[in-house]
Structure 1
Amino acid sequence: MPASSPRERGEESLPRAAAPFLGFARLLRRHAFAVAPEQATSFMQAVTLLGPRSMNDIREAALATLAPSPDRRIEFDAHFRSHFYGDVKPSIEGEEDETRIKDDRGTREEESQDPRQEKGGELSSAREQLSSRDFQRDADGLGAFRRRVASALPARRSFRTIRTRSRGTLDLRRSLSEIVSADGDIPSPQLRRRQTVPRKLLLLIDVSGSMKLHTSDYLKLAHAAVQSADRAEVFTFGTRLTRITSALRIRDRDQALARAAVLVDDWDGGTRMGPTLLAFLSVPRFSAFARGAAVVILSDALERGDHADLETAMRRLSARAFRLSLATPLAGDPRFRPATAALRAILPVLDDLVDGSSLKSLTDFILSLARPAPSAEAIWKRVS
């Protein structure tokens, strides 16, 4: 008979009653939860100490020892019910109402769900549909944009200073140091001025079904911006929020878009614009990207149902951003007017409401962000 492994001998020494608890820890590990062997042991010890008197005691012991992250608590509870109550398929409560956030900085790949058959692009919907995309190489005409975007973005004065020969303030420390080194002679005073640096560019791209015809162009534009601008950030949103900046830092565009296609789960599905933007603002590291930035939202803004969340999110974004712009493909139609309830509600806080129907209109607009312009409300009131 072959000798058993230390792991097998350790498991054989456990009582049969411990098998369900050890199995639950293994189930969590299979679904990318970080559960160390010591945590599984602590879980079984906690159950022993609690009695337990009810299944709630076991759940509390699992939460205390296995320590799931807050953003995966609902999924944790679903796996708990599946394992201990015998549900065939974990039903994650609130999945239709809670916005998922995925950061491309070392996060796990979320489980895929069976895609539903819907006609993308014809109607705006709040229903979640997970699918994938494939981006093919073609001529994009973005060469001029790549060359100009870094210098065309709005600028701000940094707190850091650089030496200058004129039109600066006196650098007292360096001036005194030079006087000492010159044995008391008074040379030309040393001057410094504050540096001018480009502002951040934040692109929020709607990847819902109603935007299906434009998603490919928007991703190519985003890749060009990330490659050329020093401080560009890109997020996609539909029914979920996904940061894809790291994927777009890959120099080869095909590889970058292929990586982005894997990261984003909610291509061509429904849209929950208000909740996803609020989710963006609820993460301090993400909302910091918007502070003092030129924020461009690429979406048709066809929010279904109550638009209160969208209005709240846009007001908060406007308060943080240097300039808040909405580029909608609907504005490519000369007959377009911001007549929906959602657009009327957010128009007063928008700096720009522009045509997003083509790459040329978008690149021309982004390259003009440093130039002042009338507010969106003033422009569209004149048009109306």
Structure 2
Amino acid sequence: MSAPARGEALPRAARPFVTFATLLRANGFSVAPEQTETFVAAVGLLGPRTMADIYAAARATLGPPPERREDFDALYRAHFLGQTLSGLMPGPEEDLAYEPEEGGDATFEPEELNEAGGEATAAEALSLRRFAPLGEGEALRRFRRAAPDALPRRRSRRFAGRRAGERPDMRRALREAVRRDGEILRLPQLRRRTRQRRILLLIDVSGSMKGQTEASLRLAHTLVHSAERAEVFTIGTRLTRVTRALRHRHASVALAAAAVAVADWDGGTRLGDALAAFLAVPRYAGFARSAYVVVLSDGLERGDPAVLIGAVERLARLAWGILWLTPLASGADFAPETEAMRAIAPHLDRIGSAASPARITHEILEFARTP
């Protein structure tokens, strides 16, 4: 497949593959135009059925050097799977990579590999997570049925005809008058429509939350398919948007896609940096505007507490309400113990329990019903 001549538009189907080669060059890889043509042709010949086919074609035709294989894989996941990048080998054009963590100043070097998780740490541990093929629990089934009516709504700018409205619908009144020779038996009314508020779910995937991660992702999948508008991000040492992966109808396929997209499973806890990166991207910050924000995290921040405080402060100004659910909240008399949680508590609308999926769904629906 030859490259398009100068002035000729690039076919839409080929754009992701050509721009991937551009992304590699921007991050210091040597990719010749002939290699780009070969990559596009290889994808066309494979007729890829899975993302693994595209990855194999990229590895075979673009030939990343062995010492930069990890950087190549990270750029591939960022470009084709939407994963946020944390840090590559330093280069003059590193900021051209897709969806950078703009809230952070420097990358963190990993300490000892945290294979098992279970502790709050600032070290970054990159790994692949696999989810067991469990069925959907009764709590999630009840949540799926209740969520469409229980989740908070807001008034839209659009009007619709109603029997008891806020103002007369003069357009319909004139149409009826024409049909009835000038007589109007009932004055049509208009009332503002309502629409569901966007739900923003932030899931802590650090090592200290390892026991709750799978249940949280299953809840996120249910929420994406129950709410009119929902966005899901994972936070740990990195910020990753997993909404697209969770939109698949089958939970097992959706969770497998999320497992590939997220690289910092069971790693360190830098919530402040992740939230700051979220708010630094205008598109992401727009997701939080007038939204119902739910954070699933124990709040055991190992980074700078000032960064977390500033990020939550700004998030509170944008959001309709913030519900922070932690597995450490065992009773109604729970009080935050860490410095960071005590500092952000005044900016949260409620701190609830995340002891079980049933408790989480109860908290989400109860807070949604509060006036």
Relative to the length of structure 2, the TM-score reads 0.71
8 Å CA contact retained: 2:111, 2:124: no
Cα distance in structure 1, aligned partners of 2:286 and 2:195:
17
Quote the residue 2:200 is aligned against: 202
Q: Distance in 2 between matches of 1:183 and 1:287?
A: 54
- What pairs up with 1:279-358 in 2 under 5 angstroms? 279-332=277-330, 336-358=334-356
Number of the residue aligned with 1:360: 358
Deviation of 1:196 (Å) = 1.7
Contact 2:293 2:319 in 1 (8 A): yes
User: How many Å apart are 1:230 and its aligned residue?
Assistant: 1.3
Check the 8 A contact 1:154/1:369 in 2, yes or no. Answer: no
Give deviations 1:21-61, integer Å, cap 9, x for gaps.
Answer: xxxx89935979797849x9xxxxxxxxxxxxxxxxxxxxx
- 138-147 vs 220-229, greater mean Cα deviation: 138-147
CA distance in 2, matches of 1:164, 1:96: 50
What amino acid is the match of 1:127?
A
Moved more, 133-142 or 222-231: 133-142
DSSP 3-state at the match of 1:254: helix
Query: Are residues 1:266 and 2:296 paired?
Result: no
Partners of 1:328 and 1:72 lie apart in 2 by 27
Shift of 1:285: 1.1
1:126 aligns with 2:122: yes
1:28 is aligned with what amino acid? L
1:293 Cα deviation from its structure 2 partner: 1.0
- Against the structure 1 CA distance between its residues 116 and 132, is the aligned structure 2 distance closer, same or farther, given a 3 Å change threshold? farther
Could you tell me how far 1:166 is from its partner in structure 2?
2.1
| C-alpha distance in 2 between matches for 1:79 and 1:179 | 71
Equivalence for 1:188: 186
In structure 2, distance between residues paired with 1:133 and 1:73 = 18
Distance 1:241 1:349, change over 3 A: same
CA drift of 1:167 comes to: 3.5
Instruction: Give distance in 2, aligned partners of 1:226 and 1:74.
Output: 29
Q: Hey, what's the Cα distance between the residues in 2 that align with 1:121 and 1:175? A: 67
TM superposition shift of 1:95: 12
Change (3 A) 1:318 1:35: farther
- Equivalent position amino acid for 1:247 in 2: A
CA deviation after TM superposition for structure 1 residue 366, in Å: 1.1
Residue 178 of structure 1 aligns with which residue?
176
- The letter for the 2-side match of 1:274 is G
**Separation in 2 of the partners of 1:345 and 1:274?**
12
CA distance in 1, matches of 2:329, 2:318: 25
Flag structure 1 segments of 5+ consecutive residues without an equivalent.
1-5, 8-24, 41-68, 82-93, 101-112, 374-384
**Displacement, 1:188?**
1.7
Moved more, 155-164 or 165-174: 165-174
Q: Give the whole-Å Cα distance in 2 for the aligned partners of 1:143 and 1:339.
A: 34
* SS of alignment partner, residue 304 of structure 2: coil
Deviation at 1:372?
Answer: 2.0
Which of 221, 225, 230 is equivalent to 1:223? 221
- The residue correspondences of 1:98-117 to structure 2 (distance < 5 A) are 98=106, 117=113
Counterpart AA for 2:203: I
Matched residues, percent identical?
Answer: 47
**Code of the aligned partner of 1:286:** Y
User: What CA distance in whole angstroms lies between the structure 2 residues aligned with 1:362 and 1:312?
Assistant: 26
Note if contact 1:96-1:128 (Cα within 8 Å) is conserved in structure 2.
Answer: no
CA distance, structure 1, for counterparts of residue 215 and residue 304 of structure 2: 30
What is the CA distance between 1:213 and its match in structure 2? 0.6
Aligned to 2:230: 232
CA distance in 2, matches of 1:168, 1:343: 44
Give the Cα–Cα distance (whole angstroms) in 2 for the partners of residues 261 and 321 of structure 1. 28
Do the aligned partners of residues 74 and 237 (structure 1) sit closer, same or farther apart at CA in structure 2, a change above 3 Å counting? closer
RMSD value, Cα: 3.6
Structure whose CA Rg is larger: 1
- SS of the counterpart of 1:156? strand
Equivalent residues of 1:121, 1:213 under 8 A apart: no
Provide the secondary structure at the position in 2 that maps to 1:130: coil
1:127 is displaced (CA, Å) by: 1.0
Instruction: Report the alpha carbon displacement of residue 123 of structure 1 after superposing the two structures with TM.
Output: 2.2
- 1:270-305 residue CA offsets vs partner (Å, 9 max, x unmatched): 111001101101111111111111100000111125
Tell me, in whole angstroms, the C-alpha distance in 2 between the residues paired with 1:30 and 1:178.
64
Match of 2:12 in 1: none
Partner of 1:22: none
> For this pair of structures, how many residues does the alignment match?
297
* Change beyond 3 A, Cα 1:32–1:244: farther
Q: Which segment drifts farther, 71-80 or 304-313?
A: 71-80
Query: How much does 1:202 deviate?
Result: 0.8
Residue pair 1:126, 1:272 contacting (<8 A) in 2 also: yes
1:355 to partner: Cα distance? 0.5
Q: Which runs of 5+ in 2 are unaligned?
A: 4-20, 37-78, 95-101
Distance in 1 between the 2:338 and 2:149 partners?
Answer: 36
In structure 2, what is the equivalent of residue 66 of structure 1? none
1: CA distance, partners of 2:286 / 2:144: 25
Alpha-carbon spacing, 1:334–1:186, altered in 2? closer, same or farther (3 Å): closer
**Alpha carbons 2:125, 2:268 under 8 Å: kept:** yes
Does 2:186 match 1:159? no
Amino acid at match of 2:188: Q
C-alpha displacement of 1:335: 7.7
Preserved contact between residue 205 and residue 298 of structure 1 (Cα < 8 Å): yes
Contact 2:270 2:303 in 1 (8 A): no
Please report the TM-score for the alignment, with normalisation by the length of structure 1.
Answer: 0.69
Cα 1:147/1:29, change in 2 over 3 Å: same
The one-letter code of the counterpart of 1:367 is L
Partner of 1:251: 249
